[in-house]
Structure 1
Amino acid sequence: MTDAPARKGLLVPLLFVLAGTGILVWLGLWQLHRLTWKDALIARIAARSTAAPQPLPMPAAWPGLKPDDYEYLHVSAQGHFDNAKEVLVFRTQGPRDLGAGYLVLTPLILASGDEVIVDRGFIPTDLAAKSSRPQSEIEGEVTVTGLMRSPQDRNFFTPADDPAHGLYFTRDPAAIAAHFGLTRAAPFVIDQDKIAIPGGWPEGGATIGNIPNNHMEYALTWFGGAIGLWVVFGTHLFRVWREWRQGRRSEHQPAKP
């Protein structure tokens, strides 16, 4: 084996390793960037959600609010529930391993006449009918405390809502307001805190606070993949070098008589 073929046999694997390393290292660095972002997000959520409730932003400020301005902000609001406009949002899993069920969303009518959709909490599927939980329909003036949440996004797999039967698959205040003709509805939802209510349902405090943060593991996986490429290339390089050495020895061995 001559030097030229040996070098030629290494060129394509080397280019592949260099390209692969660049991609994997970039992915690892991106995950570290996401880790920094996620750590800051979790810290902000913890600070906002555990703080004492503050007054709900004034309705005049609602159109200019951005989710980053209010997400998980602990607030309080006064008004009365419009129980006739209650809807259910399907969930495949409830708190405390209760299985599938629904979130109960009800408009809270403020003294100003503006409306805020309140996520009052979770109910099991066998309590979907209002007749099975008549005590849950609280009448009169109430004070609601909870976390401000932005509308929930839909994706390709999200089923279509069924407004005629009060069934939704995303927590979208705009869709609910449009169905009931609520012209002054807030562009956000309040996830009500867990409180003692007659009958025990719905169970508030349904906000998912355990946000996954696996970006360090993902980063190590990508960096490990880059190292693995070089290990494989090193093994290939050693094999080529060994074959080259054997070829050189054969060339210098005297021919047998």
Structure 2
Amino acid sequence: MTKRMIVPLLFGLLGAAILMSLGKWQLDRLAWKENILSQIDARIGDAPVALPETPDPEADKYMPVTVTGTFEPRGLRVLASRKIIGAGHRIITVLDVDGRQIMVDRGFLKNGDAPGAFPDGPVTVVGNLHWPDEISNFTPEPDIDGGLWFARQVPDMAATLNTEPVLIVARSITPADPAISPWPVDSSGIPNDHRSYAITWFSLAAIWLGMTGLLLWRIRRQQV
């Protein structure tokens, strides 16, 4: 090996080492994220408890609860789409629980379908407390007058419907509305892209080593 080849070799090895360390870091993050997701799934599936007096958006997120109350003829729709089924809306309805006004995400109603009449008496809702983070720079403003929203913005929806900023995403409602299918909380919507990031960094490291090898080969050819 000539002196002219030493610098490119060292540069290539250093660059590959940095890229591979970034890939290893992403694998560590993947293991951490999968552990977090398993904890979330375990909490979602716990036995439901009574609704807390003052639910906390951080401490009580995903808490399984059960409540019995009466649906109010007030609510809104959130534009949504489900695989295979197609476009529709999440149906958000106000539930009166012993004088407390909260919101229930009753589930998905397909476009063209009509919900059934509200039950005459009490309903029992089993679900999970949730404060979704669905807003992005591209989310349109809600059509408040038309009752159409494009993301579940719990504080804003609560202000519009004059309820507590509490949303229960139903797993089951008794009696049920056959037209509305529950769309319960799970961890599938939580981003976990660390595996693809790791593959990207390791691929870049391989390309970097390949380009380094090509450069060294060309230098060697020039010296022959």
Q: Which whole-Å CA distance do the structure 2 matches of 1:196 and 1:126 have between them?
A: 24
Whole-Å Cα distance in 2 between the matches of residues 87 and 76 of structure 1?
Answer: 22
Q: Pick the aligned partner of 1:119 from 105, 113, 117.
A: 105
Return the TM-score normalized by structure 1: 0.75
Specify the SS of the correspondent of 1:228: helix
Out of 135, 144, 147, the residue aligned to residue 154 of structure 1 is: 135
CA distance 1:114–1:27, shift in 2 (3 Å): farther
Aligned length: 222
Question: How many percent identity over aligned positions?
Answer: 30
Aligned to 2:37: 42
Q: Does 1:236 align with 2:215?
A: yes
Larger helix percent = 1
What is the match of residue 101 of structure 1?
Answer: 88
Matching residue of 2:72: 82
Q: How does 1:1-257 map to 2 (within 5 A)?
A: 6=4, 11=7, 15=11, 18-19=14-15, 21-22=17-18, 24-59=19-54, 62=55, 65-67=56-58, 69-83=59-73, 85-91=74-80, 93-94=81-82, 97-111=84-98, 113-127=99-113, 132-135=114-117, 137-182=118-163, 185-186=164-165, 188-195=166-173, 197=175, 199-211=177-189, 213-244=192-223, 246=224
**If you compute each CA radius of gyration, which structure gives the higher value, 1 or 2?**
1
Task: Classify the secondary structure of the residue corresponding to 1:147.
Answer: strand
Q: What's the secondary structure of 2:112's corresponding residue?
A: helix
Further displaced range: 235-244 or 102-111: 235-244
Gaps (5+ residues) in structure 2? none
Three-state SS of the structure 1 residue aligned to 2:156 is: helix
Q: Is the 8 A contact 2:126 2:170 kept in 1?
A: yes
Deviation at 1:12, TM superposition (A): 6.6
Q: Which one has a larger percent strand, Structure 1 or Structure 2?
A: 2
Give CA-to-partner distance per residue, 1:196-217, whole Å, 9 cap, x none. 6455021113435435645234
Distance 1:230 1:102 in 2: 50
What is the TM-score with the length of structure 2 in the denominator? 0.84
